[in-house]
Amino acid sequence: MSVSSRSHLGLAAALLAGSMSGAAQQNESRQVSQPTSAPQAAQPANSSVLHARTGPPTRTIHLDVVVTNKPGQPVAGLEQKDFTVMDDKTQREITSFEAVDERKQPVTAILLIDAVNTGYTEISEERIEIDKFLRANGGKLALPISLAVFGDQGIKMQGGYSRDGNVLADALAKYTISLREIGRSAGFQGAAERLNDSLKAIRILAAYMSQRPGRKIILWVSPGWPLLSGPGVNLTENQRTQIFNEITFLSTTLREAQTSVYAINPLGVGESVGQAFYYEQFTAPAKKPSDVNMGNLAVQVIAKETGGLVLNSTGVAALLEESVADNVAYYRLSFEPPPTEKRDVYHSLKVTVAKPGLTVATSTGYYAEP
């Protein structure tokens, strides 16, 4: 089935086209031109589209917290008294707490193959690794998984959720992943098209996940989309405001949907160590529009912000196994944030446990609302 959602901003095509400096444009094989649909696709800076939520508004902050030991195994059996929540370095009272494991409500996962930002040869190798992952342990999966392919026509879901890896592997083997047809323009324009499609896709998934109960994870198998950030890209104040709106929307929607992103790079670091870790320049929180770059919307940055993992290796099967194992058990807790008169005021979060040798993963912050 196809997953659809509301219209998106078209950030890359509608906002960044023509924003490169003259020197940078001379280095591109094609000039960037403003798309004819830009006036219709663009939204005003104060648009409420990005702040639309599913369900009634709530100020209570709910967090899914994964605790692992040094070998990386989830730790169960912790109690509320073991946890401390720091909100902008101020301790908050935990108002609700629940330890969750697969017997109560298993985490569900979407395993997404990114055919927009990955070459055909690499996808062929991915499929072999994914098949290996799905058929391991006799095809018995630790979590219910649904397969999805992100291509030129958007996101195509390959059936429902299943713990039978053999059934999923057989379905994937029958599915033809087409070569990318759009975005063949070179340089900045082609990169902008891929970025635009990728941001639309993750917003669609965020909206889709918000309709399902419990904790969810997105296993995004991809080297990531173009960041379009650097000395050659200059953003206007209005563009930064709209990018900031996109950041706050994704952050809030994914947190409220109990969804973490796992960025799994099938290329590893073999091609370019610098490229694989370039996203790290944009992991600082975007507290206001003047802080932002398009790199703040990298899939790896989103993974870090949602409490997921960033993994780089050509051994995709092992990375998928690691990501799934990270979610066998988790803790659900909540607290009441301080009142605010302004929306999208950033608060940093840090959750700790009173036992040594344990690692805590959860959302790294939230944007407060009145």
Measured in whole angstroms, the distance separating CA 111 from the mean position of its chain's CA atoms is 12
Residue 316 · residue 266 · CB < 8 Å: yes
Q: Can you give the pTM of this predicted structure? A: 0.85
Nearest to 17 by CA among 185, 272, 193: 193
pLDDT value of residue 274: 60
Cα separation of 90 and 92, whole Å? 6
Q: Catalogue all structural domains in the chain, each as residue range(s) with its CATH number.
A: 13-20+37-54+104-325 (3.40.50.410), 61-99+329-368 (no CATH)
Cα dist from 50 to 43, 285, 344, 357, whole Å = 9, 18, 12, 39
- The more confidently predicted of residues 58 and 85 is 85
Q: Which of 34-48, 119-133, 258-272 has the lowest mean pLDDT?
A: 34-48
User: For residue 185, is pLDDT > 60?
Assistant: no
Burial class of residue 112, CB neighbours in 10 A (0-12, 13-18, 19+): buried
Length of the chain counted residue by residue: 370
Least confident of 32-41, 54-63, 92-101, 129-138: 32-41
Higher pLDDT, 262 or 10: 262
How many other C-beta atoms can be found within 10 angstroms of the C-beta atom of residue 202?
23
Cα dist from 64 to 112, 173, 257, whole Å: 22, 34, 10
pLDDT bucket at 24, cuts 50 / 70 / 90: very low
Per-residue pLDDT, averaged over 312-317, amounts to 92
Indicate whether 18 pLDDT > 80: no
pLDDT tens, residue by residue, 130-165: 999 999 999 999 999 999 999 988 999 988 899 999
Pairing of strands 259-265, 310-312: parallel
Q: Which of 31, 37, 9, 36 is nearest to 18 (CA)?
A: 31
Strands 96-101 and 108-114, sheet pairing: unpaired
Q: How far apart, in Å, are the Cα atoms of 261 and each of 33, 182, 201, 206, 326?
A: 33, 26, 13, 10, 12
CA-CA distance, 268 to 363, in Å (whole number)? Answer: 25
Residue 356 has pLDDT above 90, yes or no: yes
pLDDT by residue (tens digit) across 273-291? 567 789 999 999 999 999 9
Quick one: pLDDT at residue 128? 96
